[in-house]
Every structure is written in structure tokens, then in C-alpha cells.
Amino acid sequence: ETKLSIEERLSLFEQVCLAVKHAHQNTIIHRDLKPSNIMVDTKGEVKVLDFGIAKLMDPDEVGSAFQTRTGARMLTLGYAAPEQLESQPITTATDSYVLGILLFELLAGVHPFDLDDKSFMEIEKLIREEQPTPPSETFTGLSPEEQQQIEEKRNTSTNALVNTLKGDLDAIVLKALRKEPDHRYSSVEQLLEDLNRRKTDLPIIAREDSFRYNASKFIKRHKTRLSVAAIFLLFIIGFTAFYTSQITQERNKAQLEAQKAQEVSDFLTDMFRASNPNYNPQDTVTASTFLKRGEERIDQLENQPEVQAQL
């Protein structure tokens, strides 16, 4: 009845895993994990109940196979692993499978298989043969009314819940629910490790190793540092661009001043050379002619307004 967020639910689930892990360490497989066998007290502490059909593992096999066999099938069908239905060896991976069912329900609000109006044989076939869809996809396939009820109990919205489930949590649940025991989490400890790695943004073993995935995890882990580094890098780039622009402007200004000086020098040289009797002995240049020639020369510099203005 208490509305708990996804992270709060995961915290309780981890307590369940720790209790099951403790049982496994004492060579006990529960074999009948289900919601009615799990109690949460008012302090938020979890207790796993009813070890009535629990199986003591053969001490001689604890270090190797860590498995038991069962003749008569004592189980709750909706919370049974495929190997339990086939009277195959029962291992710690059997409890890991059922923990996957419980985790699926905690996250998506429904059982991984649609068991409504199904016969005993139909349910058995589902458990043995059908691979469940990821929790996020199962949730999106529900009716709007069902989605609203589930998201309200988790203090979230549809989009937020789907985004939370997609990725790591989907992968963790599906690995726990693999049909083949060898492809599941080999121990509850391994399942717990993946849940903890997800919380700390480390790559989980349930996901395929890839550069893109590992890079995204690295970025999440170092988000603050990378943000500071990015800001610093942008500052360096901006400062460099500004400094380069200033240097370019100063260089262009210096080149323009040099060009103006050269033009003035050439102008004066040409003007005085034109009036020098040694160069033009037959030409007598008056002051008015001298100024007129200068004016004509200045008019020729219309494409260089700054030099023209200087002259």
C-alpha cells in the first residue's frame, strides 16, 4: 500500500537478495520464493519466510555443482523456474530465476507472463518456452488505466518509468529470467553486483560489452568533472580565438600603416621628382601645377580611402 519509487523498491529487493544469498551460503536453496513469502516490517526491513520446501544442498557438491534434485514437484507454478517443471537439477540459479520474476513485478507492476485465464498446461508451456519481453516493453503494452495505477504506486510518470527501466534494468531482469540456468546469474551475489554496478554507473555484465556503452557509462560517472573540463576547454578555445583575432587585427593594422607610409613616401618622391629640373629640364613647375598634380595623384587612390585621407 505504500507508494515507493523504483530506487526504494530496488533497495528492498536487495535486502531479499541478501537474505537468499545468506541461505545459499548455508547450503540452502529456498525453491518457493514468491511475494507472499516476503514480509517488510514497519521499519522497512525485509524478512524471507516459509522455507517449508527449501532443499539442503548436498555438502559434497557445494563446492562444485551446488545443486539438488527434487522428485515430487513442490512449487508455486507462477513462481517456478523451467528446470523445476522438468524435474531437472535445482541450483542457486533456480532462486536467481524467481528473483528475476519478483524484480520484474517490482519494476513493471505485472508478472512477466500473462497467466490470466490460462490452464495449468498453458502456464507450464509459457514458463518453459516463452522468453519474456523486457519490463519497459511490457509496461508500455498495458492499457492506460493499468499504466496509471502502476506509475502512481511508484511516484512517477509513464515516460519517466519507461526511461528508468530501459537499458540496464531491462537487461538485468532478462538475464535472471533466461531459460537455461547456465545463462542466468550463477549466484545471487552476481545479481546483486550488477544492481550495485548500475547504481554507480559502471558497466553491468548483463549487457553486451561495447565501446558506445562503456563510453556512456564513463561519461555518467564523471559527469561533473567532464562538465568542468568542457567549460575550461571552451574558455581556452574562446580565449585563443579572441587572442588570434586581436593579433590578426594588429597585424592588419600594422600592414595598413606600412602601406600608407609607403604610399606617402612614393607620392612625395614622385611629386618632387616631377618638379626637379634635373629630370624635366624643359618643364617649369609652378606651385599651382605642383598642387594640381598632387590632387590628381590622390584621386587615383580612391580604392585606398585611408591612404587617400592621409595624403
Positions marked catalytic: 32
Give the closest residue to 12 by CA, choosing from 103, 139, 110.
103
Contact 281, 231 (CB under 8 A): no
Q: Which three cell numbers stand for residue 93?
A: 540459479
Rounded to an integer, what distance in angstroms lies between the CA atom of residue 62 and that of residue 24? 9
DSSP string, 11-76: HHHHHHHHHHHHHHHTTEE-----GGGEEE-TTS-EEE---TT-EEPPGGGTTTT-EE--SS--S-
Rounded to an integer, what distance in angstroms lies between the CA atom of residue 168 and that of residue 105? 16
Contact 181, 94 (CB under 8 A): yes
Rounded to an integer, what distance in angstroms lies between the CA atom of residue 190 and that of residue 18? 11
The amino acid occupying position 53 is: I
Q: Which three cell numbers stand for residue 104?
A: 520484474
For residue 122, the SS3 value is helix
